Structure 1
Amino acid sequence: MILVLSQPFDATATLVIDELKRRRLPVVRMDVAWFPAQVTLAARLDRGGWGGRLHLGGRTVDLVEIRAVYYRKPGNHWISDRLSPQERVIAEREARLGFGGLLFSLPVFWLPHPARVADAEYKPAQLAAARRAGLAVPDTLITNKPAEARAFAERHGWNVVYKTFTPVTVTRGGAGYHTYTTPVTPELLEDEAVRYTAHLFQERIDKAYDVRLVCVDDRMFAVEIHSPAGDWRRAYNANRYQVCEVPDEVATGMRAMLAALRLHFCAADFAVDHDGRWWFLDLNPNGQWGWLEQATGVPISSAIADLLVRKHRSLKRRAT
């Protein structure tokens, strides 16, 4: 059995589930948020590890039958509002450590493993790994000192951008606003708020276009993103997409980087300058790719299914 951990309406996970079903592989979709409200668990430890069953409504999953897990973006555990706020915090933590810890301990193939995802989400670690792997990385500064930020910007002729370490949504007047890559101006660095936390400043690449590179084990799928908005995340519908080849030096560097981060999957973003050089910007160890497959037909879901099936069969032979 292949277990897919995702939210019910995650269209990207559905692409993979449909591909697995076409191959007549046993697959079960479950959201972590369903435990404990909709999922019950009974597991016991023996010499071979954990055994037991999950009950998902009318479906029963035997833990020993799970061979591979596709880990997308499941929700958080939903805890009954009959508990007090303090009890809910405790119950959520116990669910995460107990239910999640049980799943993580199973001798199965994870794509990707949550622990590897957590490690790889640290952007400073990504950038260092990319540089060690031989990828081109823009000059970067992390600081909470306004004077250092200003000196960095002046050294690059104010051709510098600011980025958050993780996507941030700010609510104003009842509406949500997403943070994007922001050009740095002298006025921006006059604000002493730089002192309040860590900030990432980076040399701005004069790019011709962006590339999202999706890696599935040793296979790579690259799509050019031409955006009239400059930042393609601002207006998906206005973007133009085109499948492209990955330069040999970039492919070699990405394989080295994935090996160092112990990842079998990632979605990496590059800026390609007017000389055709690919600059590594960041990496999402569980990034989005479904819209690229729908826009260009690039067979990412098939590649993911191939990897899950291959690991599923390998573990099945080992178990027998």
Structure 2
Amino acid sequence: MQDPTPDLVIAELHHRGVPVVQFDAGDLSATLSRTARAGAVSAGRRGSPRTPTRPARPGPIRALYCRRPAASAFPHLDSQDASVAAAQVRRGPGGVPASLPGCLYVNHPHRIGDAEYKPAALAAAAACGFRLPPTVITNEPDRVRAFVRAHGPVTHQLISVPTHPTVPVAAVAAGEVDRSPSGTTHLFQQRIDKVADVRVTVIGDRIFAVRIDSGLPDWRTDHSTHTYAAIPVPDPLVRAILAYLRHFGLVFGAFDFALTGPAHAADSWVWIECHPSGQWSWLEPPTGLPMTSALADLLERGTP
């Protein structure tokens, strides 16, 4: 999968003379091989991935920037065997990068998985003191209709959002709700009457907030409409953000907020979600915020 974000960080680390190995844990081509050992054979040593240019040895690895590994594909296998093979990759060689001793993870893949569960994220956000929109997660059409009548206008969102393509939120009216929600669990949320959006990117102990003015219900659908401005984060929000990251064991997070009033007022910020592997690089050029440098600093320093 094409992802320009790691390239920016790799270029910065190369400029600093920091050795870097890049690999895709889901890549099963001949360009990536892996061997891991444990127990009496190796006295506890762990193996690691090897690319055509260099190995990634466990000892020297001080940090791992975990982005979005590709899903393993097995077109030559039937569906059942392909499912079994994919599970072996994820739990076997794909687990080697998740078990490096003394390594700083940005973020650890297991912590990413924990934070991607939307019900857990909503519960943690409420406990940390964020203002949340009224939300229901259900597969019962009658409850959806009642929620729309009580909290309309309402939007429908996916609980698990795929990396590509972007799936925009959709408005929902009570009369439009048929039996479809009974097929699986859905998330419905009151639509926020907002004046702007804010993306807050946290890298280690550094916080970068960008106001996004788009005039769109979902700013992700058309980046050409955007204007950007770096803004400060009110102190109560800073404390809530850091508490949320501690809850999930994250050192990086990309938070989305809807802004309903003045940005200096903490109660104007409505928490929408936090992406533990979120994008940030497109915000750096228009704002001048040194996010690439901050991430390179964190990786170069290492130490969990």
TM > 0.5 = yes
- 1:126 matched to which residue of 2? 121
- 2:6 matched to which residue of 1? 13
SS in structure 2 at match of 1:30: coil
- 1:289 matched to which residue of 2? 280
Select 1:188's aligned residue among 176, 180, 191. Answer: 176
TM-score by length of 2: 0.89
Q: How far did 1:64 drift?
A: 2.2
In structure 2, the CA distance between the partners of 1:61 and 1:202, relative to structure 1 (3 Å rule), is closer
Equivalence map 1:82-101=2 (5 Å): 86-101=80-95
- 1:42 matched to which residue of 2? 35
In structure 2, the CA distance between the partners of 1:187 and 1:44, relative to structure 1 (3 Å rule), is same
Equivalence map 1:1-320=2 (5 Å): 7=1, 9-35=2-28, 37-45=30-38, 49-52=44-47, 54-79=49-74, 86-107=80-101, 108-156=103-151, 158-167=152-161, 178-189=166-177, 191-276=178-263, 277-311=268-302, 314=303
Give the Cα–Cα distance (whole angstroms) in 1 for the partners of residues 143 and 72 of structure 2.
42
Give the Cα–Cα distance (whole angstroms) in 1 for the partners of residues 54 and 90 of structure 2.
22
Give the Cα–Cα distance (whole angstroms) in 2 for the partners of residues 155 and 267 of structure 1.
31
Give the Cα–Cα distance (whole angstroms) in 2 for the partners of residues 78 and 195 of structure 1.
30
Is the 1:112–1:265 Cα contact (8 Å) retained in structure 2? yes
Q: Which runs of 5+ in 1 are unaligned?
A: 1-6, 170-175, 316-320
In structure 2, the CA distance between the partners of 1:147 and 1:226, relative to structure 1 (3 Å rule), is same
Give the Cα–Cα distance (whole angstroms) in 2 for the partners of residues 183 and 77 of structure 1.
34
Q: How far did 1:149 drift?
A: 1.6
Q: Which runs of 5+ in 2 are unaligned?
A: none
In structure 2, the CA distance between the partners of 1:125 and 1:24, relative to structure 1 (3 Å rule), is same
Letter in 1 for 2:31: Q
Is the 1:43–1:51 Cα contact (8 Å) retained in structure 2? yes
Q: How far did 1:85 drift?
A: 5.2
Give the Cα–Cα distance (whole angstroms) in 1 for the partners of residues 160 and 230 of structure 2.
27
Cα deviation, 1:51-72, whole Å, max 9, x if unaligned, reads 4464312423323222211101
- 1:318 matched to which residue of 2? none
Letter in 1 for 2:149: E
Give the Cα–Cα distance (whole angstroms) in 2 for the partners of residues 109 and 62 of structure 1.
15
Q: CA RMSD in A?
A: 2.3
- 1:173 matched to which residue of 2? none
Cα deviation, 1:84-127, whole Å, max 9, x if unaligned, reads 65544433322222212222121121110000000100111111
Identical-residue share of aligned pairs (%)? 39
Q: How far did 1:193 drift?
A: 1.0
Q: How many residues align?
A: 297
Is the 1:143–1:198 Cα contact (8 Å) retained in structure 2? yes
Cα deviation, 1:160-202, whole Å, max 9, x if unaligned, reads 2221112359xxxxxx97531122213322x121222212111
